Amino acid sequence: MKNVTIVKQDSSMKLISGFFSCYNIPMHILYNERQNAPHNESFSPSAGKPKLFIDRIKAKYPVTIHSDWQPLERSDFYLAHDPAYVDTILDGQKANGFGNTSPALAQTLYYTNASFYHASSYALQHQCITLSPSSGFHHASYSSCFGYCTFNGLIITAIKLYQEYSLKKIGIIDFDAHYGNGTDNIIEHLGLNYIHHQGIKQLLDQHQKFQLSTLEKLLLQFKDCDYLLYQAGADPHIDDPLGGYLSTEELRIRDEKVFTFSQEHHIPLTWNLAGGYQQPIEKVLDLHENTVKEWLRAESNQKGNKKRQQ
Ligand SMILES: [Zn+2]
């Protein structure tokens, strides 16, 4: 295990669901129903996706869902964003990343971002892989929103972890189909030199083809990180109307390699759903479920390896 000093314990986390807990496979999800926006009418299904996804997987996989955690405070958003920008969004004076000023949607932002943060805290404290069923982070810049992203939960989480734990380097592996321009904008604006950020474009050759050797080399850049944030977007899929790079099998290999890398290098990791725009949404949920299968396979392999070593 990495030599990470844990200085904060969140005793408020309470186990509320453990359908397959008898399997004793540690698949922990930090999810609260308040992450979902009612009446989402945007082109992006992201605001209602967490519930659909959790409802689909909770009875099929050995997951443990933690829901009893606190939303972020307004001051947490100030860590990564211009406070004036944060206030205008949360007070409904400016359109959010979904292009509306809905107070109900603004309320969900406290929870989507907190889901990622608490999932990350849990992963660090327990040195494991966790899931935050969240989306809508990486296009949010220091003082503007774009493309269904309002606040950058990746950066907010990285800053909070850096401040609360003795971390030296945090990796953001962003394999959503799209460039995390907001993430780079905030890293540059705030001079966050402890964050290493790479995206899916680095995985493709000049013909937009996936290269396994490139993926393996890219992951090695993260080997000295204390912690990894992984955007496992479904929109790189070849059939996605806003993506279109990778086959279903290539996405599976992507997930397998990231989870295996995290385990082999003993670096805790939190993944999230990020983008996916195929219709009907079941096609997107199928791809996210494939990521859960790779996560389960990685956990099962690791458990088997540990047993053999005993
Ligand atoms: Zn995307």
Mean pLDDT of 166-182: 96
Does residue 302 carry a pLDDT above 50?
yes
Say how many Å lie between the CA of residue 275 and the centre of ligand 1: 4
Has residue 241 been placed in a domain? yes
Has residue 20 been placed in a domain? yes
Please check whether residue 291 is in contact with residue 271, taking contact to mean a CB–CB distance below 8 angstroms: yes
Mean pLDDT of 63-82: 98
Has residue 1 been placed in a domain? no
Residue 229 sits in which domain range? 15-309
Say how many Å lie between the CA of residue 228 and the centre of ligand 1: 19
Say how many Å lie between the CA of residue 13 and the centre of ligand 1: 30
Indicate the range of 43-57, 139-153, 210-224, 241-255 predicted with least confidence.
43-57
Question: What's residue 301's pLDDT?
Answer: 87
What is the per-residue pLDDT across 119-160, written as a single tens digit (0 to 9) for each? 999 999 999 999 999 999 999 999 999 888 999 999 999 999
Has residue 4 been placed in a domain? no
Has residue 3 been placed in a domain? no
Does residue 265 carry a pLDDT above 60?
yes
Please check whether residue 29 is in contact with residue 131, taking contact to mean a CB–CB distance below 8 angstroms: yes
DSSP the chain: ---PPP----TT--EEE-TTGGG---EEEE--GGGSPTT--SS--GGGHHHHHHHHHTTTS-EEEE---PPPPHHHHHTTS-HHHHHHHHTTSS--TTS---HHHHHHHHHHHHHHHHHHHHHHHHTSEEEE-----TT--SS--BTTB-S-HHHHHHHHHHHHS--S-EEEEE-SSS--HHHHHHHHHHT-TTEEEEEGGGGB-TTS-B-HHHHHHHHHTTTT-SEEEEE--STTBTT-TT---B-HHHHHHHHHHHHHHHHHTT--EEEE------SSHHHHHHHHHHHHHHHHHHHHHHHHHHHHH-
Number of domains in the chain: 1
pTM beyond 0.85: yes
Has residue 8 been placed in a domain? no
Say how many Å lie between the CA of residue 105 and the centre of ligand 1: 20
Question: What's residue 38's pLDDT?
Answer: 67
Say how many Å lie between the CA of residue 306 and the centre of ligand 1: 36
Say how many Å lie between the CA of residue 90 and the centre of ligand 1: 24
Mean pLDDT of 18-35: 72
Has residue 19 been placed in a domain? yes
Question: What's residue 189's pLDDT?
Answer: 98
Assign residue 248 the CATH number of its domain: 3.40.800.20
Say how many Å lie between the CA of residue 213 and the centre of ligand 1: 23
Q: Give CA–CA dist 116/210, Å, rounded.
A: 28
Say how many Å lie between the CA of residue 10 and the centre of ligand 1: 32
Mean pLDDT of 68-76: 98
Does residue 215 carry a pLDDT above 80?
yes
Q: Mean pLDDT across the chain, nearest whole number?
A: 89
Task: Name, of 105-109, 200-204, 223-227, 305-309, the range with top average pLDDT.
Answer: 223-227
Does residue 30 carry a pLDDT above 50?
yes
Question: What's residue 39's pLDDT?
Answer: 60
Does residue 66 carry a pLDDT above 90?
yes
Say how many Å lie between the CA of residue 176 and the centre of ligand 1: 5
Ligand 1 (ion): residues with CB under 5 Å are: 176-178, 235, 275
Does residue 3 carry a pLDDT above 60?
no
